[in-house]
Amino acid sequence: MIGRSEEYEKMFRLEGQLWWYRHLHERVGEALLHRFGENRDVTILDAGCGTGGLLSFLNQLGYTHLRGIDGSVDAVAYCHERKLPVSFVNLTGLADFEPTHMYDAIICNDVFCYFSNADLATLMMALTGRLKPGGILISNNNAFGAFRGEHDLAVGIIRRFVLSDFEPLLSQNGLNLLAYTYWSFSLSLPIVLVRQWQRIRLRLGWSKPGEAKSDVYLPVRWLNKLLLGIVRAEQKLLRRTPFGSSLFMVISR
Ligand SMILES: C[S@@+](CC[C@H](N)C(=O)[O-])C[C@H]1O[C@@H](n2cnc3c(N)ncnc32)[C@H](O)[C@@H]1O
């Protein structure tokens, strides 16, 4: 992902509108509300914050003690355009970033997919080590290999997860899984079919890996609204679902 400037430009332009980002941001907002109630004084770090859409959303919700870090110069520049307090930091060196600062909540969405097993264990330790007592780590991650498709190639995703990938990491570090769900369950079938078709096309040479496109594009307005409505309804009606292209987790120390 790092270095693919066109992906950051799309993220910056669309994350406030695209159903998928909007719903992910709402899920994070709800997890914070669930943990901290109406307290907006909590300190929040978005680790691998991308172009800052989530930090802007949280700011609109009234959270002001916000901090972001990312290892992409493109991402940091877009965050600065939004006047967000974001620094250029490689997460492999998180221990050296403002080492005395601790946070009530650390968010790390769709970043673990760029880390090998050994590096992920170190990153999890570093992230959770920066939580204040009672703090939480919120993390959304790409899930299930069945959803691998052009998007993964376009943004350089090296792995997808299921919950059991995290269980040893949690137990080794004495962490508690407070909540989790896969999402979006209701849209799984069409997403799997599209991604499998993309894989067939790649295998047959009908499309080229170098020309793969990410899913970051805005569908027509009614479809964007419909998809947002479906994922919102799913979240309201079903607390936890067993399958989906993302795994959303809330973890405490
Ligand atoms: C798929 S984007 C997700 C961005 C944001 N968290 C979101 O949910 O929209 C992954 C982000 O992780 C950042 N990233 C990947 N590896 C990183 C590393 N080693 N250090 C810091 N940031 C990294 C990328 O620059 C990118 O902004």
> CB of 7 closer than 6 A to ligand 1?
no
Cα-to-centroid distance, 48 and ligand 1 (Å): 4
Q: Assign 43 a pLDDT band (cuts: 50, 70, 90).
A: very high
Per the structure, the complete domain to which residue 29 belongs is given by 5-252
> Token pair for residue 78?
């877009």
CATH number at residue 74: 3.40.50.150
Query: How far is residue 103's CA from residue 128's CA, in Å, rounded to a whole number?
Result: 9
- 1 has pLDDT over 90: no
Q: Is the CB of 56 under 6 A from ligand 1?
A: no
Pocket of ligand 1 contains residue 177 by CB under 6 Å: no
Q: Which two tokens stand for residue 128?
A: 């959770």
Secondary structure of residue 104 in the 3-state scheme: strand
Residues in Cβ contact with 30 at an 8 Å cutoff, skipping those fewer than 6 apart: 235
Asked which of 58-62, 114-118, 246-250 is least confident by mean pLDDT, the reply is: 114-118
For residue 208, the model assigns a pLDDT of: 87
How far apart are the CA of 47 and the centre of ligand 1, in A?
Answer: 8
In percent, the amount of the chain with pLDDT more than 70 equals 100
Backbone angles phi, psi at 181, to 5 degrees: -160, 150
SS3 call for 191: helix
Whether residue 5 has its Cβ less than 6 Å from ligand 1? no
How many angstroms separate the alpha carbon of residue 201 from the centre of ligand 1? 28
Domain count, the chain: 1
Q: Which of 70, 84, 139 maximizes ligand 1 atoms within 8 Å of its Cβ, making it the mutation to test the pocket? A: 70
pLDDT, tens digit, 9 for 90 and up, residues 85-114: 999 999 999 999 999 999 999 999 999 999
Taking 90 as the threshold, does the pLDDT of residue 79 lie above it? yes
Q: How many C-alpha atoms does 239 have within 13 Å on its Cβ side?
A: 2
CA–CA separation, 15 vs 216, rounded Å? 8
| Residue 250: predicted pLDDT | 98
Of 238, 114, 129, 104, nearest to 182 by C-alpha is 238
**pLDDT grade for 216, boundaries at 50, 70 and 90:** confident
